[in-house]
Structure 1
Amino acid sequence: MRRGTIRLITVLATAAVTSGLVAGCSSKNQVPSIGYAVDAAVASYNGGSTLGASSGAAAVFGRVLTGFFYTGPDGQQVADTDAGTAKEVPGETQTVQYRLNPDGVYSDGVQTSCDDLVLAWSARSGRFTRPGDRGPVPLFDAASTAGYADIERVDCQPGSKDATVVFRPGRHYLPWRTLFTAAELMPAHVVAQAVGVPNVVNALQTGDGAVLGRIADFWNSGWAMKPGGLDLTKFPSSGPYRIESFSAKDGLVLVANEKWWGSAPETSRIVVWPKGTDYAAKAKENALGVVDLGAGSVSDLKLDGFEEQTIASRSAEQLVLATGGVFGPPEVRRAFAQCVPRQALFDTLGKAGEVPQSGLGAGPLNAHVVQQDSLYYPAVIGAADRYRGTDIPAATATLASARAAQPTVRIGYLAPDARRAKTVAMIAESCRGAGISVVDAGAPDFSPARLSEGAVDAVLGGTAAVPGPAGSTTGVAAFAALRTGSGLDVGGFANGRYDAITDQLAGETNSTVTLNLLTEAENLLWAQLPSIPLFATPRTIAFGNGMQNGIAGPTQAGTGWNMDRWVLQR
């Protein structure tokens, strides 16, 4: 049970998060509503879509839309048996049996069913396309097809609680626990109602073009969210909380889901204050109980009455570069990397408290897809040597060889963000000496899609260009963000050898082969530079005095990963 899992994680994590756990006192009263400040940008309910993944849906809706697994506080995948069970079946062909909880029901009264799995697989498999100017274009705007593209079929009787997922012969997807997860398993019955079909299973199997188009259109945009009136019939919950309202004034209000079949949430109301909130004002109003923000992103934030810590997160702070426009020639990307002051950026903005000897936050991040605490990390970072220190003469010479005279680089990010503004300013100061002009293109309505649209030349963000909480131990999003055609590949990077490496790594069990493949991948990425890694994104995580069961989650799921267990006494 999830409650038991949380108890175990609490015991294991006590030493690291003691400051976040404050025992309640009998003389205090439990607060009925907890304010949660998190710098995710609430843009879509659908965490599997490009919009949902790139705005951080997993950090907000993990306890609203449940799945067979969720991301735990250390970035690991944890089974959620409240939602259902998943079991790999022995055999030559990889097969996983999924069984949804018999008591599972959405907040609108409709039973959870294997239809949800068929929809998720169909949307994220890449199998449905439409003609485009340069060849077939995916019908569904999926953040990534990782793992789902390896599935041959999902056996499901419409409305059933059981599904059998069969992978393609010869493929074995090791991180299969990242499939059908929290914030990504969407209510298929809502889609069926919206497009006017009895169920999506039959509609997707028959492959009627017009119906498929309507299903894809709804999956892509039907769950988009903007502050104001939401049609809540489109947003039913399969978790302990459901959406009550969403407005700029009152935040995203989550309330206890009366139809939830698991343990009732300890606090009946959570108010999520997403990116764009005046966090300093909310803190002064005593409207916050939990804070999870990029360290230094809010310059005037004072958290009196909180136990506060700064942690190196699973997210990789990085510059994602366009592979067209000013950065079309790889030499210009290399010149830019040579003038980006990576060490100085880490020293000034990237440290999360005392710097450890190794692991997350131990120095500038010298890998694109391999994490700092990986056993492979020390062996794969040799190609980063030429970019460890700022080299203005080398940058000038590289630009000259590319015949690119005084290029201008526009760096976009979701504003306001004081730390990222300083990052851009430091880069601008350094690169000016190489003849590269850097423009701060941060904006309150910024999204990573502006890079693919040509509105900016680089995105400053975390793993997969996400503005807020990001990253996991599996690294699926990091790999997918550089894969040809992936929704998260906003820079348009395309390299067949890199794609082949990622495909092989997903099923590779031999450590020597894995090391060789990761080394090749990093060498390739440092040569092509679709992105420039900077450091493990430091995050400030704070719990109000009187908080119980608050456990820091510096991952894509954010600290709200167990919000249904929070208790705040004052």
Structure 2
Amino acid sequence: MRGTSTGVLRGAALSRSALSRSRAGTALRGLALAAVAALSLAACSAGPGSAGGGGGDVDQQQTLNPGTIGGADQPYTRPKVPDIGEVSVSLDESFQDYNNNTGAANSQANQYFSELFSPSPYFVDSDFSLKVDKDYMESVTVKSTSPQVVEWKWRPDAVWSDGAPVGCKDMYLLYLAAVSPAKASGGSQAFDSSPTGYSQISKFECSPDGKTVTVTFGTPLADYRGLWSQAWLSGGQLLPAHILEQRTGIPDITKLPLDRDTPEVQKAAQFFTKSWGDFDATNDLSAGPYILQSATRNQRAVLVRNPKWWGNPGGPAKITTTAVTDSQAMVQQLLNKEVQVIAPQADSTVAEQVRAGGDFSVFARGGQTYEHLDFNMGRPLFRDHPELRHAVADCVNRQDIVDKLVKSVDPNAKPLGAFLINPNEAGYQDHYPGVGTGDVAGAKKLMEDAGWALGPDGIYAKGGQRASFRVGHKLVDRRGQTVQLMQASCKPAGIEMIDAGNEAFNDQQLPAGDFDAALFAWVGSSIKSTLTPNYTSKAKGGVANYNNYSNPQVDDLLSKANTQLDFTQRLATFNQADDIMAKDMHSLPLFQLPDFACADRSYSPISYLSTGGALWNVFAWTKSL
């Protein structure tokens, strides 16, 4: 998919209408943008034992409890660790494009790597909390809340790998890309980047040395921490603006107008969207602990320590990643000691094999990605028959799905009860109690009360329509098994589901709305603003609203939530929206997808985080003798 939205799907590029990420097989993961307010407070700096959680077999559930907007954020500094030499990692996808901000390129795979070479004011820690990254920032300060004014102050020694300073120009480029009205030849947005959050800025000011940026917001932005940060997932990756200046002949990017389409703006957009794609060592600089040494698109990528990095050097001197789509092949590589870490889709068989292997560890924990079944509200079958949507929600047995497909990976897993707040986050409420319990009798009553009659083929029909529909999904074993379980539990209720799995589903059919029902997962984050385009009406900016859901009340509540600086009020608003969506039953939440990684037990701390996958804390890895 190609796009700029807030949901992310792992395993596929996203469209501008989605700028999401998906985990191979987790269709667009909800690209949550700005972190829900200040997140939980943990240790100031993560050492080997805290950077990444991951000790033990199944990691403990975390509780995300954001603090007060404008309050003092906790700092983060990368730990000092010993040199452990080279490591090899197998991922479900590998590096594709350097610039992960455009709809045409955005993918979870790029995020795995960009966190290691792109500067970011905030760091997402193992408990999903956002902390000021002290390796980059002197401070991030809320100067005022009415109007909302925030100051970003970069460290003087924060530089790109060619020695150029990180600062104002890099931030301005992303701001320009997000809000510019410039159009491409076909009439689409020239920069192909999401305006979410950035469009609320009314003033952008730089200090003479370019190291301090002060931003005034026209309307409050609860998730201001996500701006220019990797946590934003789509539209938050800072790029070396001076490289764009050098290659295009633009003398000063900060002089380009934000509100006009000019020849220079067009040149900037052309470079932004075309020249930061496939690996190019001359353009793809680093301002992080690692630098890309080489990359073959979605096959293999090699990172080495950045010689210009001013912070503590990472543990691995060299990181070689290989894309492996076959989970069993990944396991064999690990058991043969060909690789030290693997990050396949959460899979019961894989978990059991690795645990039985002896000297290996499994990290499994409910993350911020969630699996769900969307009904296409643009199709008359679902748009005009709410009783069918509710009947499907009755006959599907969510607990059976969790027990058979997820429990052996994460014993804490249970059916999900919300879309906007996860079970391991403050404010979570279950809006689907008693739903999805395999209630065949209840489903049949709903259908018959609405005038449906059971046909000779055992499927309900009404007005020439049969209660039969295709379930589209990416080809992942767990997804195919989920469809089989739903088919088995709903057929006795007179409802037929047809498996319409397709390898290109996430990339093509999902963003085009070409499905009856869609089984996929949004990749979430602490930044909740990015989830709102998944559920906002398309006419109101719901660029990732693939199932054409529309409810004015939900639109208003989600818009309101993104401006609420009082965290408690914001949680209440999200829960109101979730409650309305549950009554509309446009989508059925299934379960919180476990974050999952396996490793040679001598390496630690190995874990998984949606923002950076298994590599999110690779700089902190150590090796026991």
Alpha-carbon separation, structure 1, partners of 2:185 and 2:549: 19
2:123 maps to a residue whose letter is: Y
Q: Is 1:254 the counterpart of 2:298 in the alignment?
A: no
Does the 8 A contact of 1:280 with 1:300 survive in 2? no
User: 1:377 aligns to what SS in structure 2?
Assistant: coil
Shift of 1:215: 3.4
Matched-pair contact (CA < 8 Å) for 2:362–2:599: yes
Select which of 282, 288, 293 maps to 2:339: 288
Alignment of 1:316-465 (within 5 A): 316-325=370-379, 329=383, 331=385, 333-351=389-407, 355-356=411-412, 361=413, 363-378=414-429, 381-382=430-431, 385-391=434-440, 392-393=443-444, 396-397=447-448, 400=461, 404-413=465-474, 415=475, 417-433=476-492, 434-443=494-503, 446-463=505-522
Summarize deviations over 1:460-516 as a string: whole Å, max 9, x none: 3332xxxxxx43334343334323435544444444432321222233355774455
The answer to whether the 8 Å contact 1:62/1:70 transfers is no
Once the two structures are TM-superposed, the CA of residue 195 in structure 1 deviates from its matched residue by: 4.3
Q: Secondary structure at the match of 1:185?
A: coil
Tell me the equivalent position of 1:269: 318
**1:347: Cα distance to partner?**
1.7
Q: Distance in 2 between matches of 1:204 and 1:295?
A: 46
User: What is the identity, as a one-letter code, of the residue corresponding to 2:198?
Assistant: Y
1:17 alignment partner in structure 2: 55
Confirm whether residue 506 of structure 1 aligns to residue 562 of structure 2.
yes
Kept in 1: contact 2:123–2:131 (CA 8 A): yes
Asked whether the 8 Å contact 1:41–1:56 carries over to 2, the reply is yes
Pair 1:472 & 2:528 matched: no
- Is the alpha carbon distance of 1:63 and 1:186 closer, same or farther for their aligned partners in structure 2, counting shifts above 3 Å? same
Question: Is 2:394–2:436's contact at 8 Å kept on the other side of the alignment?
Answer: yes
1:151 and 2:189 aligned: no
Measure, in 2, the Cα distance between the counterparts of 1:366 and 1:243: 41
Match of residue 69, structure 1, among 122, 132, 139:
122
Stretch of structure 1 that moved more, 429-438 or 311-320: 429-438
Structure 2: which 5+ residue stretches go unaligned? 1-42, 60-81, 231-235, 453-460
Which has the higher mean CA deviation after the structures are superposed, 509-518 or 477-486? 509-518
Q: 1:209 to 1:405 in 2, by over 3 A?
A: farther
Alignment of 1:201 with 2:254, yes or no, is: yes
Q: Which residue of 2 aligns with 1:178?
A: 226
Q: Deviations over 1:312-336 (max 9, x none)?
A: 2221122345443476626365454
- Aligned Cα root-mean-square deviation (Å): 3.7
Looking at structure 2, the residues matched to 248 and 286 of structure 1 have their Cα atoms a distance apart, in angstroms, of 25
Cα distance in 2, alignment partners of residues 494 and 242 from structure 1? 44
One-letter code aligned to 2:212: D
Aligned counterpart, 1:466 = none
Structure with more of its chain in helix, by fraction: 1
The residue that corresponds to 1:24 in the other structure is none
Which amino acid letter does the alignment assign opposite residue 405 of structure 1?
R
The 2-side partners of 1:441 and 1:404 are apart by: 23
The answer on 1:243 being equivalent to 2:286 is: no
In 1: Cα distance, 2:58 partner to 2:313 partner: 22
Distance in 1, matches of 2:581 and 2:401, equals 21
Q: Do the aligned partners of 2:376 and 2:383 also contact (CA within 8 Å) in 1?
A: no
In structure 2, do the counterparts of structure 1 residues 9 and 89 end up closer, same or farther at CA, with 3 Å as the change threshold? farther
Tell me what 1:564 maps to: 619
Judging changes above 3 Å, is the alpha-carbon distance between structure 1 residues 19 and 432 closer, same or farther for their aligned structure 2 residues? closer
| 1:106–1:237 CA contact under 8 A, matched in 2 | yes
Distance 1:41 1:407 in 2: 38
Cross-structure match for 2:192: 141
The letter for the 2-side match of 1:17 is G
AA aligned to 1:10 is G
Summarize the alignment of residues 82-161 of structure 1 with structure 2, pairs less than 5 Å apart. Answer: 82-84=135-137, 85-90=139-144, 92-125=146-179, 128=181, 130=183, 138-142=189-193, 144-156=194-206, 160-161=210-211
Q: Is the contact between residue 113 and residue 158 of structure 1 (CA under 8 Å) also seen in structure 2?
A: no
1:110-167 CA-partner distances (Å, limit 9, x unpaired)? 3223111112223334x5264999xx9544433x544222211322379822211110
TM-score (normalizing by structure 2)? 0.74
TM-score, length basis structure 1 = 0.81
Question: SS at the partner of 1:424?
Answer: helix
Distance in 1, Cα, partners of 2:554 & 2:426:
21
Structure 2 CA distance for aligned equivalents of residues 512 and 310 of structure 1? 30
